[in-house]
A = this chain, B = another copy of it.
Amino acid sequence: MPALDYPPPLQRMIAQIKALPGLGPRSAERLVLWLMQDGGRIEPLIDSLSEITSRVQACDECGFFIERDQECGLCHSTKRNHRLICVVEQAADVLRLERSGAFMGLYHVLGGKLSPLDNITPEDLRIEALLDRVKALQIEEVILAVGSDVEGEATASYLSDLLRAEGLAISRLAQGMPAGGGLDHVDELTLYQALNGRRRM
């Protein structure tokens, strides 16, 4: 007699949920059983998943999300500086920078960072599109707002080599102490960079 298990459709559902980022086998099983507990829990999920598939897409220019057939509020804003472009890894980074209120130029979402170990090469990122925009928009400064981890540094250095030929200013986010934190909360590399980048008062 085979060991008892959930019916095959439930098993497949659990396997799929388990493959999502941030979910393990136990939380996947718990989530699926929770969905099954009440007939009304699954329908709204299906509706929303269908809706984001049919109605949300990436802007051809900046790569941030837009609703299908609508203009990108970032790329078409007349209040933003169209000579300044900020390069980020993910769409979520655009929101983070917008919330800081410190930037009023254009954005360019790369869709990741260079990572030979994960087989992510320049062709996998929106680098070609970045070069096209830089030329078409006569960009004066590119801010490389990628992460400061190894892959982020490699991506910044690759892009900066590529962009230097265009004769424009290239900058990187400052590294240093996080706001509101003491020296005891910061690792040595951050302290080293905060010292090196110190500013006169």
Contacts and interface: CB of A to CB of B under 8 A. Distances in A.
A61 interface: no
Given A4-B95, A6-B91, A9-B51, 11 more contacts: A3-B98, A9-B56, A10-B65, A16-B48, A21-B27, A21-B31, A22-B27, A22-B31, A23-B23, A33-B92, A42-B49
A31 B65 CA distance: 15
A8 B39 CA distance: 25
B31 A20 contact: yes
Interface string A7-41: 11110110010001111000101111111110100
Interface of A: 1, 3-10, 12-13, 16, 20-23, 27, 29-37, 39, 42-46, 48-53, 55-56, 58, 65-67, 70, 73-74, 79, 90-92, 94-95, 98-99, 111
Quick one: copies of this chain in the complex? 2
18 contacts: A3-B99, A4-B94, A4-B98, A6-B91, A6-B95, A8-B67, A9-B52, A13-B51, A16-B48, A21-B27, A21-B34, A22-B30, A33-B90, A35-B49, A36-B91, A42-B49, A42-B53, A49-B49
A20 B33 CA distance: 11
Nearest to A29: B92
Contacts of A44: 16
Nearest to A90: B33
A105 to B, nearest CB: 13
A4 B45 CA distance: 24
